[in-house]
Amino acid sequence: MGEDDGSRFARAIRDEIDQVEDALQGFRRGQFVKAERAFTRLAANTAHEARAQGYRLLAGVASTYRKTAPKAPWDGAIVLEEK
């Protein structure tokens, strides 16, 4: 995403990347409540619509998995069955 020059923009991107890593870590560990909240927060806080859509998608998957756990053994993969 470019060089981290310490600017406000670079700090914001780094902060978002850290939040995504944390959300994904929770998702992979099966902490779906944590992941859903984190992705929902990310979607609400980004002005970039394509990223917001991705975060909403992941929040939705986490919500689904929270209600109905994926079949074991689950490797963290998401299988998309619709276009």
The pLDDT of residue 1 is above 60: no
- So what's the pLDDT on residue 76? 84
- So what's the pLDDT on residue 2? 60
pTM value is 0.85
Residues 49-71, buried b or exposed e (16+ Cβ, 10 A)? eeebebbeebbebbbebeeeebe
pLDDT per position as a tens digit, 31-71: 999 999 999 999 999 988 999 999 999 999 999 999 998 88
- So what's the pLDDT on residue 75? 86
